[in-house]
Structure 1
């Protein structure tokens, strides 16, 4: 029996340090008995650091790693994220917009409010079932300074400076979790006779051996792609956007409001993200180079920014939409960009890192002899997650009624939609998305509620059957009344977003 004791994470950044931290925290009690986590990071490869949006799962991940939420805000230029607002996605008109909030609808899991909203309510679906859209409209935070770290009054995630996050995680992992940090350039992976990776060769630190290797080398995919030759599955026929232009812009004054949600504004051949951090906004244009030139895309971006953005430097990034056909092969598992990448429309990149790291840590094989069994389970779960995310991202495009450009017309063609999504959209013509019907996994990245917010935010029509269950109708009415009352309580009781961030930095949140 060959026990798994030495885990080697190759590559730093958010993917490498989150993965190393999650594994080290889970197996910290084994370290005195010979269990090690080593992270090998090139001193010459810059962090991509564009994606600054996260999902609420990160709160649990950081808490399990023993990280203080107050320190996160002080060190990573963090702000609160309560969801996303999508502007001009449905019709392209100026008043076209809806929220995908992070709060579940009232009484979710007990009653499907979408069925009742469709036949009874005149207000938006989001406002009818959750306070969060109105909280965002009012520029409020999701908690108060008296709310303990990681606790919430309204569900939230974070917007972060990705470069500062990596530095912050590295410090915590090396000083608190016992992760060994090696600064060295990996030149090749050395394979064993059986095809496993025996070690990685580095210029500065020689050979680094391990029992399990985690490839976090980004788009280079040095281990999973180059050494083990795992093919890449392209999904450009479904998701057309292949280029991003990114820019950072300062606020006009230090007291300017900070949006507590991501703003996604559709353009002629893509969309623009707008993320508010305490000292700046991160803005970028994601577009399809087959439908618009880079020069025209930049003009759209600068038009969005206004005069203040006319001379700002723009960074150009390529997007290769897709993922590896296999994520865990032999004794190597890919996480982060090495596993794949999709456009950042719903901030799925970091949550996929978290879920993969959690799965590796929780199902850490005891020995090499059972690793292939664990790998099969990991690959099945991870493939499902990637497929579901592709479905969900495509849903935003498939529902559009825009016909003003070839990009939007092409996105409505049925042959560009995954088979599973086409089937679900047919089902949803007669039945609102619900928990057990189409979402049967314990950890769905996007639950049924997310599909409801997008479907009904974009005006999708579901036929409501005649007659309703009296008990459900009573429960639905009670839930919607409670939502209205909760909305008023939160609008009067929550602080301004920027004010809370300042208090967190100055005073700190109560520790749990």
Structure 2
């Protein structure tokens, strides 16, 4: 059977990212139609308001103006995740922190990790990247004279998820002729071979297709309720299974941090994301170690005001992923594919990765689809497992012993075996590029370096020749000098956003 009709179930970020990826990849195929069916009665989750740098390439590929994106989606720049209190306060000080920066470490020459291991009195990020100083100074990653999607430093975005979905929708409809149908699905019809044949809707009747994409969120109407693809539970490794999400206003003159703030507490952590007119704050916790009332009280204490005055949501988080992501003629994306706590903007990251992977390999018929399914499921299982390991590493490296949550996260029975093997290897030698041999590592060498040594992982120092040590020292001084220069040259974060609102950025 030829694949000419593609149907996406569900809007939101996942559905419209998929529509844009497919629209772009198939814009030369006049025989292919793409339809997105969205319920008028189901709001998007809208919690994931942070991204990673890879999203810039996707937006540029879709033909979306960065200036328009920033103006319309309340965008702020994200250069880092600043982790606060993830280490023991008695050993590392109250308010201890480190940055997981978005610029590459050691950009001026050799990897400075060995030099840092010999000189751990300086924060790792501060030694290996000028971006550390820029973040702490509250500066933007670029100037108004930079071209769209270009900058002096690496960056991603914070954004209003609902407005982002609307912008993606408009782009897919206008640029790629995606058909948009507002309807509620009442029934799913299957073919004799178990594939999906059509969706039966309340106002548009039966809508058939050759290939379906499930972006129906936690409901997982197609991949779970219809096709019964099993779920791989990861709650034995990642304990945080609830989040309280709230939006609070900020003063229009208040400084905007150019990073996500991730503050640890006794049973999880708090995300704090500043947009131009409000903060999105989420209290992530484990229901095994903290009850809902305690969580609400602690979030109120963090905000310095009673959370009851705002609308908030308590979100259960079922942690894990589908055993198959592409099953028969159905691809799952977004929350329908799986969910891990939003520690590293994982949902949008994996959705963007998976949608791009399939769009660029979109099969023309059922035979090619079967071949793609096997490869895609292997790739995505590998990717999800590596993300689980990367998130778990943040917890099991912590030396906090003030609460059972942190102690239990170091239990070897809860640490994935591949992560345990890597950590043993890195006790003797810091990570190198060859340790990340797959092209499908969602988090790569630089991500691990920032977290490992931001959290003071005890890798044994190696003996180095005097000339190398001198070269490292010179390089570290140069990075520090660049950081001082950028602190003075780059604009204050809110100042740049206000200029973009008026003038826009230079076109590519």
Q: Give the TM bin, normalised by the shorter chain.
A: over 0.9
Give 1:443 shift. Answer: 4.2
Provide the rounded CA distance (Å) in 2 between the counterparts of 1:366 and 1:245: 44
Tell me which residue corresponds to 1:10. 9
The answer to whether the Cα contact below 8 Å between 1:434 and 1:449 also exists between their aligned partners in 2 is no
Closer, same or farther: CA 256–367 of 1 in aligned 2, 3 Å: same
Is 1:83 matched with 2:75? no
Bigger CA drift: 453-462 or 85-94? 85-94
Residue 130 of structure 1, CA deviation:
0.4
For residues 92-171 of structure 1, the aligned pairs below 5 Å read 92=89, 93-107=93-107, 111-120=110-119, 122-171=121-170
Deviations 1:348-404 (A, max 9, x none): 110111001100111111211111110111111111111111001100100111111
Counterpart residue number, 1:509: 505
Aligned with 1:285: secondary structure?
Answer: strand
Answering whether residue 271 of structure 2 is matched by residue 273 of structure 1, we say yes
SS of alignment partner, residue 67 of structure 1: coil
Superposition pairs for residues 316-395 of structure 1, below 5 Å?
316-395=314-393
The equivalent of 2:231 in structure 1 is 232
Q: Deviations over 1:458-495 (max 9, x none)?
A: 1111002233595x656544532331222122111100
Cα separation, partners in 2 of 1:377 and 1:479, compared to 1, 3 Å: farther
Match of 2:461 in 1: 464
Q: 1:248-268 CA distances to partner (integer Å, 9 max, x unpaired)?
A: 1111x3111001100000111
Instruction: Specify the alignment match of 1:222 in structure 2.
Output: 221
Root-mean-square deviation (CA), in Å? 1.5
Normalised by the length of structure 2, the TM-score is 0.97
Equivalent residue number for residue 36 of structure 2: 39
Match of 2:486 in 1: 490
Q: How many angstroms apart in 2 are the aligned matches of 1:475 and 1:440? A: 28
Q: Secondary structure of the residue that 2:266 maps to in structure 1?
A: coil
* 8 A contact 2:10–2:216 mirrored in 1: yes
**1:310, distance to aligned residue in structure 2 (A):** 6.3
Mapped partners of 2:425, 2:141: distance in 1: 34
In the alignment, the residues of structure 2 paired with residue 279 and residue 506 of structure 1 have an alpha-carbon distance, to the nearest angstrom, of: 17
Equivalents in 1 of 2:477, 2:365: separation in Å?
A: 55
Q: CA deviation at 1:278?
A: 0.2
Residue 107 of structure 2 contacts residue 129 of structure 2 at CA under 8 Å; is this kept in 1? no
Q: How many residues are matched?
A: 505
**Alpha-carbon deviations, 1:282-313, whole Å to 9, x = none?**
11100001101100011111100013756333
Summarize the alignment of residues 233-312 of structure 1 with structure 2, pairs less than 5 Å apart. Answer: 233-251=232-250, 253-307=251-305, 309=307, 311-312=309-310
Structure 1: which 5+ residue stretches go unaligned? none
How many Å separate the matches in 1 of 2:261 and 2:348?
A: 18
Question: For the residues of structure 2 that align with 1:489 and 1:505, how far apart are their CA atoms?
Answer: 26
Q: CA deviation at 1:7?
A: 1.1
1:29-63 deviation per Cα after TM superposition (whole angstroms, max 9, x unaligned):
21xx2111110101111110011000111110011
Aligned counterpart, 1:56? 53
Determine the C-alpha separation between the residues in 1 that align with 2:469 and 2:380.
38
Name the SS of the counterpart of 1:495 in structure 2: coil
What does residue 66 of structure 2 align with? 69
Secondary structure of 1:286's counterpart equals strand
Q: CA offset at residue 106 of structure 1? A: 2.0
Deviations 1:332-362 (A, max 9, x none): 1100000000111111110111001100111
Residue 80 of structure 2 contacts residue 100 of structure 2 at CA under 8 Å; is this kept in 1? yes
Please list the CA deviations of residues 167-210 of structure 1 after superposition, one character each: whole Å capped at 9, or x if unmatched: 11111111222110011111222111222112221111111111
Whether the 8 Å contact between 2:379 and 2:440 is mirrored in structure 1 is no
Which whole-Å CA distance do the structure 1 matches of 2:190 and 2:254 have between them?
Answer: 55
1-side partners of 2:465 and 2:22: how far apart?
Answer: 49
Could you tell me how far 1:416 is from its partner in structure 2?
Answer: 0.7
In structure 2, the gaps of 5 or more residues are none
TM-score computed with the length of structure 1 as normaliser: 0.96
Counterpart-to-counterpart distance in 1, 2:320 and 2:31 = 37
Classify 1:11/1:477 alpha carbon distance in 2 versus 1 (closer, same or farther; 3 Å).
same
* 2-structure distance, mates of 1:302, 1:443: 40
Quote the Cα distance in structure 1 between the aligned partners of 2:317 and 2:308.
Answer: 25
Cα distance in 1 between the residues matched to 2:440 and 2:480: 29
> Once structures 1 and 2 are overlaid, which stretch shifts more, 189-198 or 476-485?
476-485
